[in-house]
Structure 1
Amino acid sequence: MPGRLLLVEDTPSLSMVYRQVLERAGHPVISASTLAEARAQIGVERMRLVMLDLQLPDGDGLELLDELHRDRPEVRVIVITANGSINRAVQAMRAGAFDFLVKPFDETRLLSAVQNALATAPFVPEAAVEAETGRDGFEGFIGRSTAMREIYRMVRSIGRSTATVFITGESGTGKDVCARAIHAVSARAAKPFVPLNCAAIPRDLLESEVFGHLKGAFTGALSDKPGAAAVANGGTLFLDEICEMDLSLQTKLLRFLQTSTIQPVGSARATPVDVRIVCATNRDPAEEVRAGRFREDLYYRLHVVPIHMPPLRGRPEDIIEIASANLAAFAAEEGKTFTGFDPEVSRILASRPWPGNVRQLLNVLRNVVVLHDGPLVTADMLPVELSLTEAPPAPVAAPAAAAVEPPAGSNGARSAGNLSDRIAPLVGTPLAEVERQLIEATIEHCGGSIPRAAKVLELSPSTIYRKIESWAAGQRQAGA
């Protein structure tokens, strides 16, 4: 194994301990306690790996990281940071560090990080990463927006590490795709990727699903079953919807993260496993902690390297690209002849807010392909709800609601007056009756079209239909 390991640590006692552990494991080590000493050693020695403390007497360790990243991209860097400086560690990862260690760390964690760094493929220069992310997609993603190019760069950096990753984002933004991409670019890519949806498994079975069970451990346990953590040994365990996990199981997950061992249900013996944890949620994890639904200590254990998936409305330039790629795939699956979208459909797709994000867009495209045929997708093929709820253009006149004729008996002559004059006829009227009068007047103004009225009122057409049915039922009961 040519090349040595450079340890840059200014605390003599820690430097001695780290060096002894590394040398016992067969890694030749050169020590430095300042940036100046480290630069001198790098100038005369062939280094394969640098372990770099960020707080040094003569400067910031990130300075040396930047220099290595620019001039010696083949050298891997593991940064060392004090507890409570996670943001600095994340900053270092984004600057090109391979991994980071938070003091205090044990011998196993130290050696694992070093071995992973030395065993992986050569460091990919930033120029190569930029060239790769400039393509149409990246590891299952589609899109070339600035927001997605940043995600690609982060995934590439995070993938080189063994640190726990916490993915957040709205439903349908691609958190699962992100987790798979992190695994695919990591040194664990050849090992299993095991996804587990914490919200889809009954609470009393979740512990068994994660940690496994022995035959006879509970009613229905007819044979030994390895849990997801054991199946993922050597690879990545993806815990989706982590904030849905029961508090009692959160305690066991925390112990698993601290000890790297699992204890199947019914077993008296713990078994060591080597698993990288990636978790995701569509909730605000900090808010879940404040509400007492998620353990604070587990949150800080998991929330090491955060990555937030942008909503589709935040990258509108990617919408047509995503739609085109999936239209072609769905058409091939269904044996249809679609080749693209007409201009009106492209405008509708690009202007819609997409609250369900990419998942909602794909559902719309699947609906179109199943029910119609091409070659072009036209506006009449789109689901009715899509064209009704697209984001309206910026108003150039008074809002549509202002043009609605007032209901009979509401003293429309006063409508041009101030707010008090306009609402005076309604004072003393129950709110439900005011709502009914407004909805009925809007429907009349829209020529009896409930979909058009719904668009003016910013409601779903189904909401108005339900209200009309409830009003009719009320009249029938009154007549009876």
Structure 2
Amino acid sequence: MVRQSPTLPPPILLVEDTISLQIVYRAILESAGHTVTVAANAAEARAHFQEHGPAVVLLDLVLPDRDGLELMQEFLALAPETGFIAITANNSADRAVEAMRAGAHDYLVKPIDEARLLDAVRNALAEKRPRRAAPPVHVPDRGSAPVETSGFIGSSESMRRIHGTIGSVARSMATVFITGESGTGKELCALAVHAHSARAQGPFIALNCGAIPQDLLESEVFGHMKGSFTGAISDKPGAAAAADGGTLFLDEICEMAPALQTKLLRFLQTSTVQPVGATRPRKVNVRIVCATNRDPLEAVRRGQFREDLYYRLYVVPIHMPPLRERGEDVIEIAEAALIRFAEEEGRRFQGLSPEVQAQLMRLPWPGNVRQLLNVIRNVVVLNPGGLVTPEMLPPGLTLDEAAEPQDAEEGVTADGLPLDGLVGLSLAEAERRLIEATLARHGGSIPRAARVLEVSPSTLYRKLDGWKARAG
């Protein structure tokens, strides 16, 4: 395959069978300084691809002589470093998603916005720059807060598949949708995607959509201008602008209000943000990774999550399995956490005894990796060192109690909620008991408890913060 001289602009191959669109797209690209060759069908595209070795291919998925997706896969087998941008009609979003999963860098929906077209090409070209070796998961610096990495350790088959997916998707601009129970390491997975991408030197901004009151969430995501609402005493850039050049991680995405979902969809389509109170939008270059511990498709069926936003985000799904399904990963995570926490506390531990390993393997871990890390930290903090024995494990971590959590407290139903114990309490205290019991029943997951109680997760966060403040 012939490659052009490195002194020339990287060539772009445009594969589009509609003549009028060829003219429009070519004019836009050439006015931006790009070298463009045009093909009207698969046969011409193959000839140009072999002759010019384009850096980026803009490919209409519907061609007169061949399926565009098959053509892309053929070209990727010849030159895996090529950046493909799929072009699709508005009524064939599923094909675009299929193309992204097959290796496309991005996709454009007709009619194509000029700025969106140039952004997609620029991002695809940027991903082709020489890249250094992928850093470890903990490389992204998010300030002084330490990043716990033990939860992303594991050699189980499920974790090997996840690491393989991350390696494949990290180089692209495709959005990644991470699902899994609370405490399974979804944010660590997002960090791994960021750390293995060409954006690793850029910011990693995490935002929990369920922890922020809905009336403030738009400001947190897109920012606001001074004086735009009561309490806006200064300009605030927002998470999307703060993540410019890096990755924006939206956790608990299914808790986002419908009105904000519409604005997020526009942001994904235009790559622009408009802070509350601003008169002009601002262009940003952000890669989106999102996560939820709910079933996103079920949220769509219930009308709680926009279907078009779901298909725009759900391009590369990654499911983080619960710890109980990860076999000996439990021991690997526990041993790594023991070393880390012992170093932090200045203790010397010799490892886990066989009895402790056997017990950790048998426990159901409703709180997943987060619960396991808390158990190991408890061991390190409360013991001077040596070999970790069963006696060092925190009280209550027994097989009997773990197997039947519904019987752990007298007066609690099979669903973990109090019965007669509420009688005689004030309404505020009864509410607190009910919320705490529901949280305990669902492993501390606020979104799950919120669904059971039929309230917003932000309501529970506010109540918990209020109780902590009064207790302090």
Q: Per the shorter chain, which TM-score range? A: 0.7 to 0.9
The 3-state SS of whatever aligns with 1:115 is helix
In 2: Cα distance, 1:168 partner to 1:198 partner: 15
1:463 matched to 2:470: no
Aligned to 2:119: 112
* Corresponding residue to 2:104 among 97, 100, 103: 97
2: CA distance, partners of 1:140 / 1:356: 12
- Residue correspondences, number: 400
Q: Is 1:156 aligned to residue 102 of structure 2? A: no
What amino acid does structure 2 have at the position aligned with 1:313? R
- Is the aligned partner of 1:368 residue 2:379? yes
1:147 aligns with 2:147: no
Secondary structure, counterpart of 1:55 in structure 2: coil
Structure 1 position 32 matched with structure 2 position 39: yes
Q: 1:470 to 1:175 in 2, by over 3 A?
A: closer
Aligned counterpart, 1:186: 197
Q: Secondary structure at the match of 1:216?
A: coil
| Structure 1 position 255, deviation (Å) | 3.9
Choose the corresponding residue for 2:218, options 195, 202, 207: 207
Structure 1 counterpart of 2:51: 44
TM-score of the superposed pair, with normalisation by structure 1: 0.73
**1:262 matched residue in structure 2:** 273
Q: 1:387 aligns with which of 379, 382, 398?
A: 398
Amino acid at match of 2:195: A
Residues 112 and 187 of structure 1: CA distance in aligned 2, closer, same or farther (over 3 Å) = farther
In the alignment, is the contact (CA less than 8 A) between 2:178 and 2:318 conserved in 1? Answer: yes
Q: Which residue of 1 aligns with 2:27?
A: 20
Give, as a single letter, the amino acid of the residue that structure 1 aligns with 2:347.
K
Letter in 2 for 1:217: S
Sort the Cα spacing of 1:38 and 1:203 in 2 relative to 1 into closer, same or farther, 3 A: closer
Partner of residue 339 from structure 2, selected from 295, 318, 328: 328
Question: Following TM superposition, by how much is the alpha carbon of 1:235 offset from its aligned partner in structure 2, in angstroms?
Answer: 2.5
Where 1:100 maps in the other structure, the secondary structure is: strand
Q: For residue 310 of structure 1, what is the aligned residue in structure 2?
A: 321
Q: AA paired with 2:62?
A: Q
CA RMSD of aligned residues (A): 3.4
Where do 5+ consecutive residues of structure 1 fail to align?
390-450, 475-480
| 8 Å CA contact retained: 1:93, 1:157 | no
Alpha-carbon distance in structure 1 between the residues aligned to 2:155 and 2:234: 49
Hey, what's the Cα distance between the residues in 1 that align with 2:61 and 2:121? 17
The verdict on how the C-alpha distance between 1:101 and 1:315 changes in structure 2, with shifts beyond 3 A counting, is farther
Q: Distance in 2 between matches of 1:24 and 1:471?
A: 75
Contact conserved, 1:76 with 1:123, CA < 8 A, in 2?
A: no
What is the alpha-carbon distance in structure 2 between the residues aligned to residue 303 and residue 200 of structure 1?
A: 22
Whole-Å separation in 1 of the counterparts to 2:153 and 2:234: 43
How many percent of aligned residue pairs carry the same amino acid? 63
- Return the offset for 1:362: 0.9
**Alignment pair present for 1:353 and 2:364:** yes
String of CA shifts for 1:375-407, please: whole Å, max 9, x gaps: 322122223433325xxxxxxxxxxxxxxxxxx
- In structure 2, what is the Cα distance between the partners aligned to 1:81 and 1:473? 58
Change (3 A) 1:104 1:156: farther
Instruction: Report the Cα distance in structure 2 between the residues aligned to 1:473 and 1:79, rounded to whole angstroms.
Output: 59
The structure having more radius of gyration, on CA atoms, is 1
Q: State the shift of 1:186 in Å.
A: 2.9
Is the contact made by 2:334 and 2:373 (CA closer than 8 Å) also made in structure 1?
yes
Label 1:376 to 1:50 Cα distance change in 2 as closer, same or farther (>3 A).
same
Structural mapping, 1:266-305, within 5 Å: 266-305=277-316
Q: Distance in 1 between matches of 2:371 and 2:91?
A: 39
1:55 aligns with 2:1: no
Q: 1:256 to 1:60 in 2, by over 3 A?
A: closer
By how many angstroms is 1:317 displaced?
3.5
Q: CA deviation at 1:332?
A: 0.8
Deviation at 1:313, TM superposition (A): 2.5
The 2-side partners of 1:103 and 1:229 are apart by 25
Of the three residues 209, 228, 232, the one matched with 1:217 is 228
Letter in 1 for 2:208: N
CA–CA distance in structure 2, aligned partners of residues 119 and 265 of structure 1: 30
SS class of match (2:172):
coil
- 3-state secondary structure, aligned to 2:397: helix
Q: CA deviation at 1:139?
A: 11
Distance 1:268 1:203, change over 3 A: same
Q: Work out the CA distance in 2 between the residues paired with 1:310 and 1:152.
A: 13
Shift of 1:370: 1.2
Contact 2:271 2:284 (8 Å CA) reproduced: yes
**Correspondence for 1:196:** 207
Structure 2 Cα separation of the partners of residues 35 and 139 of structure 1? 48
8 Å Cα contact 2:156-2:329 kept in structure 1: yes
Q: Pick from 218, 226, 240 the counterpart of residue 251 of structure 2.
A: 240
Distance 1:254 1:150 in 2: 29
Taking a change above 3 Å as real, the CA distance of residues 310 and 473 of structure 1, as seen in their structure-2 partners, is closer
1:465 CA displacement: 7.5
Offset of residue 171 of structure 1: 0.8
Q: Compute the displacement of 1:57 (Å).
A: 3.6
Q: Which moved more, 1:138-147 or 1:212-221?
A: 138-147
Given residue 5 of structure 1, which amino acid in structure 2 is its aligned partner? I
Post-superposition Cα deviations, 1:128-177, rounded to whole Å, max 9, x if no partner, equal 99xx99xxxx9983222222222223223332232333222111111111
Range with greater deviation from structure 2 (1-10 or 23-32)? 1-10
CA contact (8 A) 1:168 1:175 kept: yes
Q: TM-score, normalised by structure 2?
A: 0.74
Matched residue, 1:440: none
Closer, same or farther: CA 91–245 of 1 in aligned 2, 3 Å:
closer
Counterpart amino acid of residue 38 in structure 1? A
Question: Distance between the aligned counterparts of 1:3 and 1:220, measured in 2?
Answer: 49
> Where does 1:466-477 land on structure 2 (aligned, <5 Å)?
none
The SS at the match of 1:325 is helix
Runs of 5+ unmatched residues, structure 2: 1-7, 138-148, 424-472
1:67-102 per-position Cα deviation (integer Å, ceiling 9, x unaligned): 433332333333334445555444444443333334
